[in-house]
Amino acid sequence: MTYRDVDLATWPRAAQFRFFRTYQQPHYATTSRLDVTNLMARKADGVSPYRACLYAIGVGLHAVPELCVRFRGDQVVQHGMITLSMTVPTDAGSFGYAYVPYRPDFSAFDQQAKGLIDAVAAGGSLDANSGERDDLAYLSCMPWLDYTAINNALPGPDDCIPRVTWGKFVQGQGRWDMAMTLEVHHALVDGAQVGAYFAAVQGALNGF
């Protein structure tokens, strides 16, 4: 884990951090529709839409510094790189968690992600994070539903790890799109950063 301490004496959002840390329900979730037309056109070339979405999410998270910030009590840190942790259905009918470090090169990320995800699907253990790591973002795909809103199970107000969910790809009027949700802790992330995240993810999806 490579991170730096954030100096609360000079941090521009220190007041907002202290304010929202008093909330019992400080998390909020925002759902937006994203265009995946270019991505679906690449499916015939062997590009995995699922792993491409993982990559685009990684681009979005790393484009917004606030999404790489975590707090540990009153200490605030900013990570240089976030590992993506996603739920993976197993061959036994359960699920486990894979941990895929983000890499800015899609080909390298894709190859790494496939190997790590396949290993969990073949029978890996649950391997849930019990709090020893916070250099993570939690990801889950809901390919069965074109949903309009969703939120996640959270252990309490001190959990500051972002959650990202995305849904079924839907075709209509000459394009494909999907719902994606970002759930964050308001002590660290405001609406402007949520908007910047979705713009960065859309940019990555347009690049396929």
pLDDT in tens, 85-99: 999 998 888 899 999
Domain that holds residue 115: 3-8+29-206
pLDDT at 124 over 90: no
pLDDT of residue 108: 97
pLDDT of residue 92: 84
Amino acid, single-letter form, for residue 194: V
**173 Cβ partners below 8 Å, 6+ apart?**
none
Domains in the chain: how many in total?
A: 1
pLDDT in tens, 16-44: 999 999 999 999 999 999 999 999 999 99
Tell me if 145 is assigned to some domain.
yes
Cβ atoms 31, 180 nearer than 8 A = yes
* Of residues 145 and 125, more confidently modeled: 145
pLDDT at 4 over 80: yes
Tell me if 91 is assigned to some domain.
yes
Tell me if 20 is assigned to some domain.
no
The CATH number linked to 82 is 3.30.559.10
- pTM score: 0.96
pLDDT of residue 80: 97
